């Protein structure tokens, strides 16, 4: 093997380790790969940097903006609320209609964006119909994944592999080329979920009250400032009070008002009540340092933390959050969002103490005490997904028909080959801003720049695999193992391999790694490359066996209070079913000899 092949193989191993271990964030890992190829001279600067101008990268960025423009109209939220009445009338029929609606929306809007919109709606519905939200959140995520596979723009993976196929001369995918197999898998997925999957999901999230769900009973305390306290007459600075203790002062209550005061810039007088988050041991330490008295203990409810200007918010960390890997202390929630973290659910484990040192990861759920007038800030931050119902958001319903017309125009022009999808999508983003569906700042915030960096970094790796001969070598090995069984067995092997890799790393990264190998394998077998590419594309998007294989699963992981094994229990049979169906139907829809 040449130096180039050896180096590319070593880089593949490094990529697998970095993407699966999250030692560094996936966007940084992708850029490390790109820079390594440039430094070694395996790729020229134009080849190595081509990912930034690749049609897939630009199209995915545009689709983020288009989805946000439609979200800002509030249309999906309004329709989502209608399913409360439907599910009250007939639970299973209403649930089926809601999941079908989610799947259809996910085919034309980025499926992650659709699930983000529906998470608080589904939790609200679950509380109304008296079922555990965990029974609905996993079906919501799966329905979004099913729908996203049905069109070119439903998920970024489809767009990425289509671009790779076009670059390597085997032809891009059309808008509805995915639809026949996508609908077969969607139908099979719905039958599976309604016959077995939904009933098998455990009732993980049992409490409607967030304070009970996050077990805050032993971690909330009211203390009264007594005469003679060192705090009396001073402007309150919570850092001075709690700098040596694992405590947070949530609010200060004044005698003359039932509503809570701000947490800072308040002059303390005797009789003021401080509401504090912290364990009993930390409270005891506080009482020994100053003249404070405990209020009588009582059963804490959400209402206690929603008085006056207070809001109690549950927020999930987005899978691609820029805050992933940072500690809560370094983020400084109060200065940044006017919020105090009360508890964090991470990988199924609940933590209410020593929160400052805890590093955030995608899928974590946070319980936040904050000012009502700051809730919109955290709701509009791409790093978080607000899972709790927070009242009326700021929408632009008057722009609904304009946003719908723009989305329809993008889909129609691409489907009819009037314009390439990258051109129609960029035109759509410009129209969204010109018509006021969203402003420029909102458009920039809508783009998930970590995903864009991932695409820009891994696309050159596919180029390097082809240029060095590494893809051809791997294709030869795949053929050596399975060619005696025929091309259908090779296709089945690609589907299974892609599905396995996607369970531990980004779906886009796994597709970018395996698509060039799939093309080389088809060329070596002298058959049509499209069946192999569709096997890779579908398998990369249809990951159910872990909460990290697909972004929507990560989003609902903490909010549903799931355990890791819940996804394996429900998702493994589904993945096996889809593997069998894909092996049968992909060669029928896209014959090997076409």
DSSP state of 132: -
| Residue in this structure with the two tokens 């919501």, named with its chain if needed | 140
Query: What are the C-alpha distances in Å from 5 to residues 73, 266, 437, 461, 464?
Result: 51, 66, 49, 12, 9
Query: H/E element holding 479?
Result: helix 470-482
> Strand 260-261 relative to strand 248-253: parallel, antiparallel, unpaired?
antiparallel
- Could you tell me which residue, 428 or 16, shows the higher pLDDT? 428
The answer on pLDDT for 191 being more than 90 is: yes
* Burial (CB count <10 Å: 0-12, 13-18, 19+), residue 500: middle
Helices in 201-245 by DSSP H: which ranges?
210-213, 238-242
Q: What single DSSP character describes residue 420?
A: -
SS3 (DSSP) at 537: helix
Classify the C-alpha dihedral 445-446-450-453 as positive or negative: negative
All domains in the chain, ordered by first residue: 217-299 (3.30.70.1450)
- Report the distance separating Cα 234 and Cα 199, nearest Å: 58
Q: What percent of the chain has pLDDT over 70?
A: 96
Four-residue CA torsion sign, 155, 157, 158, 159:
positive
**pLDDT confidence band for 192 (50 / 70 / 90):** very high
> Among 132-136, 239-243, 292-296, which stretch is predicted with the lowest mean pLDDT?
239-243
The residue with tokens 């995918």 is 173
| Stretch 148-158: mean pLDDT | 92
pLDDT digit string (tens) for 413-431?
A: 998 989 899 999 999 999 9
Mean pLDDT score of the chain, rounded to an integer?
Answer: 86
CA angle in degrees (0–180, nearest 5) for 578-494-175: 65
Instruction: Please indicate whether residue 290 or residue 242 has the higher confidence score (pLDDT).
Output: 290
Instruction: Show the tokens assigned to 10.
Output: 């070593």
């Amino acid at each position: 093997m040449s130096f180039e092949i050896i180096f590319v193989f070593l880089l593949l191993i490094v990529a697998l380790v970095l993407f699966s271990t999250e030692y560094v964030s996936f966007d940084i890992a992708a850029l490390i790969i790109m820079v390594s190829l440039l430094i070694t001279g395996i790729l020229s600067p134009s080849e190595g940097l081509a990912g930034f101008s690749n049609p897939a990268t630009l199209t995915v960025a545009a689709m983020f903006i288009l989805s946000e423009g439609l979200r800002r109209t509030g249309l999906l939220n309004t329709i989502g609320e209608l399913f409360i009445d439907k599910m009250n009338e007939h639970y299973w029929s209403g649930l089926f209609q809601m999941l079908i609606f989610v799947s259809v929306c996910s085919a034309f809007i980025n499926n992650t964006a659709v699930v983000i919109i529906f998470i608080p709606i589904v939790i609200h519905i679950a509380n109304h119909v008296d079922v555990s939200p965990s029974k609905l959140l996993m079906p919501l995520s799966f329905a979004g994944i099913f729908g996203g596979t049905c069109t070119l723009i439903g998920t970024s993976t489809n767009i990425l592999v289509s671009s790779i196929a076009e670059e390597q001369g085997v032809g891009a995918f059309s808008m509805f080329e995915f639809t026949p197999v996508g609908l077969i898998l969607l139908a099979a997925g719905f039958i599976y979920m309604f016959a077995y999957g939904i009933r098998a999901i455990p009732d993980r999230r049992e409490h409607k009250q967030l304070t009970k769900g996050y077990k805050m009973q032993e971690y909330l305390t009211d203390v009264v400032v007594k005469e003679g306290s060192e705090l009396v007459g001073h402007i309150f600075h919570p850092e001075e009070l709690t700098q040596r203790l694992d405590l947070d002062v949530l609010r200060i209550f004044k005698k003359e008002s039932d509503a809570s005061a701000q947490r800072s810039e308040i002059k303390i007088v005797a009789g003021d009540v401080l509401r504090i988050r912290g364990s009993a041991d930390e409270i005891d330490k506080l009482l020994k340092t100053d003249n404070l008295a405990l209020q009588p203990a009582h059963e804490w409810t959400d209402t206690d933390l929603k008085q006056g200007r207070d809001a109690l918010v549950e927020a999930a960390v987005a899978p691609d959050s820029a805050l992933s890997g940072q500690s809560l202390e370094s983020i400084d929630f109060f200065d940044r969002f006017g919020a105090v973290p009360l508890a964090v659910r991470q990988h199924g484990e609940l933590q209410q103490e020593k929160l400052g040192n805890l590093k955030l990861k995608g899928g974590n759920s946070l319980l936040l005490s904050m000012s009502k007038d700051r809730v919109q800030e955290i709701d509009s931050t791409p790093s978080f997904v607000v899972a709790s119902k927070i009242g009326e958001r700021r929408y632009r319903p008057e722009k609904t028909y304009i946003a719908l017309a723009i989305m329809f125009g993008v889909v129609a022009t691409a489907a009819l080959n009037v314009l390439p999808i990258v051109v129609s999508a960029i035109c759509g983003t410009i129209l969204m801003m010109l018509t006021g569906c969203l402003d420029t700042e909102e458009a920039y915030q809508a783009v998930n720049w970590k995903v864009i960096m991932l695409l820009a970094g891994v696309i050159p790796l596919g180029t390097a695999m082809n240029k060095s001969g590494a893809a051809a070598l791997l294709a030869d090995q795949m053929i050596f193992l399975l060619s005696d069984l025929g091309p259908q067995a090779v296709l089945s092997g690609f589907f299974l391999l892609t599905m396995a890799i996607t369970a531990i790393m980004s779906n886009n990264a796994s597709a970018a790694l395996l698509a060039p190998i799939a093309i080389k394998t088809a060329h070596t077998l002298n058959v049509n490359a499209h069946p192999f590419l569709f096997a890779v594309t579908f398998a990369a998007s249809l990951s159910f066996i872990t909460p990290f294989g697909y972004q929507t699963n990560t989003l609902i992981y903490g909010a549903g209070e799931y355990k890791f094994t819940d996804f394996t229990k429900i998702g493994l049979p589904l993945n096996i079913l889809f593997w069998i169906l894909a092996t049968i139907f992909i060669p029928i829809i896209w014959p090997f000899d076409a």
